[in-house]
Structure 1
Amino acid sequence: MFDIKYRQYAIWVMIALLVFSVLIVVDLVFLPHEKTEETIESYGFLTQGNTKEVVGYRYLTDKGTKFSINKDYIRGDQVTIQRTLLFKEIVDIKTPSRDYTKLLASGFNGFTLVLLVILAVSCGISVFNLWGVDPIPVNRYHNFVMFTAFVFFCTASMWFLFN
């Protein structure tokens, strides 16, 4: 058993990550959303690797909103967009004829939301286990810190790739 030198710093970083990830999840799931009507001005293709296969479309609206849709093209110019209140993340996209919410790739939707929930749970478990004053094995400390860092890296990578 060893006393870890930077244990308190790791705990405070994990508490900050926990608070941030819980705020995002609460904003996405529990708080009401604001609805706006916008017009699509331009779009681009999302391609995969060297094959140049189109895997999605990136759109820009007249109010400056940018979002991505997987594997489908939005027919028509008018869209209804719902955003969260705190972080202004897009959670719902509809046209008068179709709902594109399940195809939404940008923001904290789909797999990125799952990673965000995993990040919140791992931070909570890590803080709970590291909080005490009792010495812990270095291997356990590294497991908690490195798993949380890995999940944070995956979440941030997915968010940067699709935004």
Structure 2
Amino acid sequence: MNAVLVVNADLGPLHRVTVQHAIRMLCRRVAEIHEAEPDQLVGVFPLPRVVRLVRYVVTRWRFSAGPPWSRGAVLRRDDRRCAYCAGPASTVDHILPRSRGGRNTWRNTTAACYDCNQRKGDRTPVEAGMPLRREPVVPTWATLALR
């Protein structure tokens, strides 16, 4: 386990941090353990899985617009599963290739394994005969924080 979920004082998910960062938050007393791994310790603290902030942090800006596009976020959104073969994904594929005007947007990109990405090349999924197993969606902050 290398990531710890940070939730606001009202238990709304905010983001993930490393275990080391979570321990620093506990030492500074800005957070407390909400959920921990049983029988595993990091110093005097149980190994945290979820930490809750002591004070509420206003996050209105998070709900005014969705999260910005990034390769890592696309892989998290798709659970690192290839949209074509459902195997482990390591790359991001553009549904409408960039060579044809496709852009880096949530609805135009999907996680793909190296082999499927190479096989599809500069074609659309229909032209390549590779249907998508799921349609790409614009994620919310909460869904990305939970992955």
Q: Check whether TM > 0.5.
A: no
Instruction: Give the structure with higher Rg (CA).
Output: 1
TM-score (norm 2): 0.27
Structure richer in helix, relative to its length: 1
* More RCO (CA 8 Å, sep 6+): 1
